[in-house]
Amino acid sequence: MAGTCYFVGRSHIVIVAILSKYVPVYLISMIKFIGGPALGPALGLTYWETVLFTISGMMTTVVLVSFFGIQLRHFLLRKKIIGKKKFSRRSRRFVYIWKRYGLLGVSFLTPVIFSPVVGTLLASVLGAPRLQLMVYMLVSAAFWGLGLSFVLHQVM
């Protein structure tokens, strides 16, 4: 029969509908952590679904950046995409937190103050051990993911 598509069936439509709820929470959590707990209830996700995809999104970024962050920084420096170092208010705040609280403080504050990309990249550049960085970021993501998702599910 001309014009009949045998590939798209009911099961594919269901999969697309399910993915259209989960993927946005996962992707936004990779870039800005607080977006996951905010978007989850708006898309009708349960509390645990929101927590799972929020933590998964952040940890995907942490793993990718911790393995490829330093290479990316060197590439950008060679291509002169990153200019001269500037002492901005934000960079001074990061250095203050790093010197005062170390990796534990940076990991704890990454989801709410820094983004997963920035926090992980800066911790990697400053020499944080990769495994320790991932463990601390996982604990931080779980803490903030559980807390923020709970609060935002109550509000929405």
Residue with the bigger pLDDT between 1 and 38: it is 38
Please report which confidence band the pLDDT of residue 77 belongs to, taking 50, 70 and 90 as the band edges: low
Q: So what's the pLDDT on residue 83?
A: 56
Residue with the bigger pLDDT between 115 and 90: it is 115
What domain range is 40 assigned to?
A: 10-155
Whole-angstrom distance, CA of residue 15 vs CA of residue 108? 35
Residue 4 scores a pLDDT above 70 = no
Residue 1 scores a pLDDT above 50 = no
When divided into structural domains, the chain yields a total of 1
Residue with the bigger pLDDT between 128 and 77: it is 128
Residue with the bigger pLDDT between 91 and 61: it is 61
Look at residue 105 and tell me if it is in a domain.
yes
CA neighbor of 156 nearest in space, from 43, 29, 24: 43
According to DSSP, residue 82 is labeled S
CA neighbor of 65 nearest in space, from 119, 111, 15: 119
Look at residue 117 and tell me if it is in a domain.
yes
